[in-house]
Amino acid sequence: MTAGGPRVLLTRRVPSSILEKLEAACDVQLEESALTPEQLRERIRDKQGLICVLTDRVDEPLLDAAPELKVVANIAVGYDNIDAPAAARRGVVVTNTPDVLTEATAELTWALILAAARRIAEGDRLVRRGAWKGWAIDFMLGTELRGKQLGIIGRGRIGRAVAAKAAAFGMTAVFAKQDMSIDELLISSDVISINTSLRPDTRHLIDRRALMRMKRSAILVNTARGPVIDEEALAWGLQEHLIAAAALDVYEKEPIVHEALLTMENVVLAPHLGSATRETRTAMIDLAVRNVIEVLQGREPLTPVKPGRA
């Protein structure tokens, strides 16, 4: 812990250049590894600021344990790990990191779309285990994207960035609610990209009923939040051949993945890599640190979140 300034808990190691910026303004306690909820409550008791990640749960018990807390900076654009209304009731500012991860997540979305459509992960596994017997005219045929419809659920920054790249692949992008209802989008889209935030009304938005509405040739991609998809229902839908493939970067009970999905060749699984570029993660951390410094020095945060809006 460094000496001087408001006390801040940082729950993960960050680049030294950014840590130095925070240490110049605050008294920093840095944690090297993930904390249990009990450990987090103990560490936060005398702190005015918290810089956390999406796996750190900031709930009523934690807020009750931190009477001096003034700001919580989440190193993520989503903040479903934080009880924002409870924080607001206590006068605690909550911030997130929008914009800086938009392009990286949109790029990863397209990587997953292409991997599922052209069976890249399946082919990689086949080659590695020595099962490839050579070229054949009907071998591992995938799906061409040109001329197909990309249905996007979630018209935020990331959803719009995903849509902006659709023309490069000859696809037409449509948005749920803006261009058509979710039901119409499910029925008519060849690829469906989940880019919505997690809210009570989007939890298990993709369930058995939704899967039954989709084309049997459809590909489902999720780079948003895991619980938007009911993984039990998804496993069932794939087993019943209701859709052709799925590509996931996020999971309902992360880091646990539904066991059935692990065995399916037509499922691409990534370990939550949406924002995982050096440039983006550095920018996210820097923005979180700047938010904390601004609030603790009596100024307005750069990117505050609004309670009740995800």
- Radius of gyration from C-alpha coordinates of the chain: 21
Cα distance between residue 81 and residue 58, in whole Å:
6
Cα distance between residue 171 and residue 108, in whole Å:
17
Looking only at the bridges linking them, the beta strands covering 191-194 and 7-10 are unpaired
Q: How far lies 170's CA from each of 184, 228, 268, in Å?
A: 21, 27, 22
Cα 33 versus chain centre, distance: 21
- Give the Cβ contact number of residue 150 at 10 Å: 26
For the chain, how many residues are written?
A: 310
Catalytic residue, candidates 31, 107, 184, 254: 254
Note if 232 is an active site residue. Answer: no
> Look-up: residue for tokens 């691409």?
268
Beta strands in 44-179 (DSSP E): 49-52, 71-74, 93-95, 149-153, 172-175
Catalytic residue, candidates 119, 225, 281, 290: 225
- In order, the DSSP letters of 199-257 are -TTTTT-B-HHHHHHS-TT-EEEE-S-GGGB-HHHHHHHHHTTSSSEEEESS-TBTTB-
Catalytic residue, candidates 43, 155, 204, 272: 272
Note if 241 is an active site residue. Answer: no
Note if 254 is an active site residue. Answer: yes
Amino acid type, 188: S
- Catalytic residue IDs: 225, 254, 272
